[in-house]
A and B are shown apart, each in its own frame.
Chain A
């Protein structure tokens, strides 16, 4: 793709009256953009979950009917492994509000008391929060060991 194009690209002034885009292009373009917007819209509708803290969960009215993500810090001494039922229960909270959580599945490496976790699941308003997923915030990569989080 060397020299020949340069001449035509540089010197020639395009003598056009108006912009003409073939119909096939418009249709194909609209189809793709429409598909993208449709996919994003529909999947946002089905996959969006509330992201709340423990006090917000208590005041949330719609959280009983749909999955929510709750962020909180695992409280000291609250982790109980239950080998029979293959689940783990613990309490998360921030400041003074706490929430009992029950979870079965693979527990992340760094899951410990004092770690910030995000649990996703349903909350009926009473009893423990049934978590389907448990994410521990990994103080990974660039986090210094001495906590520098000053928010």
Chain B
């Protein structure tokens, strides 16, 4: 299998990526050929980059045999293809959010990335400062989750602005221990990946043993609800999606070797996120 066709953020798209990985994962000292046909959503560079890194880790050479011209342009602008021997091009439309591959210990570098690629961008004049802050907080909660829980070698991120649709899509991927293994190990149970994700997203549920937590994903879900955005989690063979239509879960054929968190934010959200004096500072503890 070498063709990835029409990849965006649907369940079917994630399934195609998982099938591609599983068809190639046992190769060693081999060539891996890939074709990106029809379209390929820019933010999915994070997921593809993670998969290709794992395959390259088995001393396989990666070859892009064909990339649809429009897709190629975007993947050159967001610098994804510069990791595969191609010259990057300047993004004159300012709609890409750079593909980035970081070690979990590179928190400071992630901050620079977030400021340059999200907070400091003025392509989205509609967004209030408070909304931008909420969005960045949400992204940070996911990044930090990957740092704490996944034991991954790298964290992969990428995003894309959609100015006419008033949306930002942002994806964070790790290739570490997924939700299922983490939850099952901690509690000595045998939950499916779907159930493990569902459990972890609920408020106050955490696998940490001596420190309370489990708030980050719950806060994220509440924000996504208010913002009318969307969150998707792909971990092992589990799929979880939350948006205005509620929660959808499903399972995949084959397993993703880690976790993908994909977030979609609405930029034309006029909710008032600047809270004032709701909590008395002397009544916190």
- A and B part of one assembly: no
